Structure 1
Amino acid sequence: MDIDDLASRIRAGERRALARAITLVESGRADHRAQATALLEALKGHGREALRVGLSGTPGVGKSTFIEAFGLMLTGQGLRVAVLAVDPSSARSGGSILGDKTRMERLSRDPQAFIRPSPSQSQLGGVARRTREAAELCEAAGFDVVLIETVGVGQSETMVAEMSDLFLLLLAPAGGDELQGVKRGIMEMADILLVNKADGDLKTTAIRTCADYAGALRLLRKRPQDPEGFPKALTVSAIEQEGLARAWEEMQSLADWRRAQGHFAGRRAEQARHWFEAEVREGLLARLRREPVRGAMAALGAQVEAGAITPSAAADELLSEYLQLDRGAREEA
């Protein structure tokens, strides 16, 4: 694969080249990982900056409907929109439906939009392992807004906040129990809460729910990256396309304030450090899955299972010998 040619085609905004590059960074093969790293290095310093917006919400809250309506509004303003949708993978078969293009039929046909579904592959945090790199590729391809949709909502669905500039939490009307369930871990990460389905018979309920969330947000500790009035709760209707323009205005206002105050660039620098450390941890775990460490781990595991050694003592023994085993294997190679 000609990495320089692929990089130049991505900079030119070729959708096929972008799709091929995302497939490359998502691959787990060692040779593909080396090529993906070279590609990301070649694209470094491209000078383009998209607004990365993370979006999470409970199943059935209307994330796909909202993204389609919101994306069409943005493309109608002349903006290029990329959607990175993460689908949950089955714990049994490992498969994913990847049906986001079907759910966003109108947006998928828009020449100004690009939709890429990816499997979570049992990755915690609501995103796929390589979603961050896919967002960097979309940014290099000249997209103005990158929407990152997570698999759902829960205490662990906060990883998307480590790869986005703004984090939106989509909520359903009459979500009192929902508020109790997600108030920590994710509400503290959210910049804007959007109460969806504020239409028809649910409109009054949505307004009341929005007021409840706004009250709950006032109880949270003030964050240095927020201007006065943020985080805030708003009502939207993806079906009737009401409230979308105001939500976009609030997002732009928050992003502009953070840029002016230095929080925007500072946060991206912190995220880069976070993902560097995550890559180091993942690399160390990958070595545990290779020989001869894998064999030593299996042997000690059998001893633990037989009761000949405690789990803590076995772990200490493996870790003390790990570097020697791994160093010896690399020297032989």
Structure 2
Amino acid sequence: MVKKRKEKSIEELVQGVLNGDRVTLAQAITLVESNSIRHFERAQQLIEAVLPHQKQSIRIGITGVPGAGKSTFIDTFGSFLTGLGLKVAVLAVDPSSNVSKGSILGDKTRMERLSRDVHAFIRPSPSGGTLGGVSRKTRETILLCEAAGYDVILVETVGVGQSEYVVRSMVDFFLLILLTGAGDELQAMKKGIMELPDLVVIHKADGDNVEKAEKVKEEMNMMLHVLRSYTEGWETKAVTASSIKETGIDSIWNVIQTFIQTTNNNGVFQKRRKTQQLEWLHAMIKEHIERHFYNDPEVKELVPKLETEIIEGKRAVSSSALQLVGLYYEKLKR
């Protein structure tokens, strides 16, 4: 008979996180990611306890078209940062497969160097297909990583529409990775995505692609020049880089450092952090209300009936919604 492992107390989790123990940090994140009500309450106790110990990190969001080499870039860029003596955490915002409920991103095998680096922590986090869940869990995971002493938090998105906007709302700096065929890939990307990044990287600029990459960079910079930058007081530009040749990586870090200095000097950095906290507050309120609403027994029982009637054309959507909300409000008054 396998002996059940004893659950760590909140105090043990807090101490382990603050000591930078990666095993305990992983356990703390698992607690935060749980959908159990009991785990949620424990997770909030944990978050409250580590809040005063947060380290001021740099939060960097990374997105890109499929095949752009995000994982390879993160492996090279992250290794470059740990080589500078920085601690790096990699978090993956993954809306997951709605069919299998498994992680699209898979495991850490595509980040071979970082996964072996004692100064790095990699956490692929499937969200069960709920972007709201991604928002809460990833934000709380960022807080845990900062309490554990990580200097740079890299938040990767698989680049599937709305997830870019969710990640943009929780990071300081947003990086978009493109290939030399950028024009074609951009057609498939959500409208407005080019207004989100603080830096565009034309990736895989090596071998026969060097000349093409330089041309795309010039075209991209002309386009970016006429677009309004997402960050006040900052002009978004395009650069080239190769993770295989490890060229342009140091320049990207220099751009990020300049960005942090610029936004700190003009007050945008702290203003953004405060705005993101308030956005998180309202997102949490909506998530709690929605979860409570759909978990109500009477609502659960009535929803399938109304859905069937709507599909059969017997009920209007608006009146059905009002009936459900009215039922819920009546129960709250009792």
TM-score where L is the length of structure 1: 0.92
Residue from 216, 233, 236 that aligns with 2:241: 236
Matched, 1:176 2:183: yes
On the 8 A contact 1:74/1:80 being kept in 2, the answer is yes
TM-aligned CA deviation for residue 244 of structure 1: 0.3
Residue from 253, 256, 280 that aligns with 2:285: 280
On the 8 A contact 1:292/1:326 being kept in 2, the answer is no
What does residue range 210-225 of structure 1 map to in structure 2 within 5 Å?
210-223=217-230, 225=232
> CA distance change for structure 1 residues 222 and 90 in 2, over 3 Å: closer, same or farther?
closer
On the 8 A contact 2:94/2:126 being kept in 1, the answer is yes
CA distance in 2, matches of 1:182, 1:218: 20
After TM superposition, the structure 1 stretch with the greater mean CA deviation from structure 2, 143-152 or 91-100, is 91-100
CA distance in 2, matches of 1:219, 1:63: 26
Residue from 239, 257, 262 that aligns with 1:257: 262
> CA distance change for structure 1 residues 209 and 91 in 2, over 3 Å: closer, same or farther?
same
On the 8 A contact 2:132/2:283 being kept in 1, the answer is no
TM-score where L is the length of structure 2: 0.91
On the 8 A contact 1:3/1:39 being kept in 2, the answer is yes
Partner AA of 1:286 in structure 2:
R
C-alpha distance after superposition, 1:76-106 (max 9, x if no partner): 1100001112345222121225534111111
After TM superposition, the structure 1 stretch with the greater mean CA deviation from structure 2, 38-47 or 59-68, is 38-47
Partner AA of 2:197 in structure 1:
A
On the 8 A contact 2:105/2:158 being kept in 1, the answer is no
**For 1:215, what is the secondary structure of its paired residue?**
helix
TM-aligned CA deviation for residue 125 of structure 1: 8.5
**For 2:53, what is the secondary structure of its paired residue?**
coil
**For 1:45, what is the secondary structure of its paired residue?**
helix
After TM superposition, the structure 1 stretch with the greater mean CA deviation from structure 2, 258-267 or 72-81, is 258-267
On the 8 A contact 1:85/1:148 being kept in 2, the answer is yes
What does residue range 121-132 of structure 1 map to in structure 2 within 5 Å?
121-124=128-131, 129-132=136-139
**For 1:211, what is the secondary structure of its paired residue?**
helix
What does residue range 62-211 of structure 1 map to in structure 2 within 5 Å?
62-96=69-103, 98-124=105-131, 129-154=136-161, 157-182=164-189, 184-211=191-218
Kindly report the root-mean-square deviation, in angstroms, between the aligned alpha carbons of the 2 structures.
2.0
On the 8 A contact 2:81/2:88 being kept in 1, the answer is yes
> CA distance change for structure 1 residues 317 and 125 in 2, over 3 Å: closer, same or farther?
closer
Partner AA of 1:217 in structure 2:
L
Residue from 304, 307, 331 that aligns with 1:325: 331
C-alpha distance after superposition, 1:153-208 (max 9, x if no partner): 53652210111110000001121122344473321111000010010000100111
Partner AA of 2:109 in structure 1:
T
> CA distance change for structure 1 residues 183 and 279 in 2, over 3 Å: closer, same or farther?
closer
**For 1:130, what is the secondary structure of its paired residue?**
helix
Residue in 2 that maps onto 1:304? 310
Residue in 1 that maps onto 2:31? 24
On the 8 A contact 1:126/1:150 being kept in 2, the answer is no
Partner AA of 2:242 in structure 1:
S
CA distance in 2, matches of 1:126, 1:209: 36
After TM superposition, the structure 1 stretch with the greater mean CA deviation from structure 2, 269-278 or 173-182, is 173-182
Partner AA of 1:61 in structure 2:
A
**For 1:94, what is the secondary structure of its paired residue?**
coil
CA distance in 1, matches of 2:160, 2:58: 22
CA distance in 2, matches of 1:218, 1:302: 51
On the 8 A contact 1:18/1:137 being kept in 2, the answer is yes
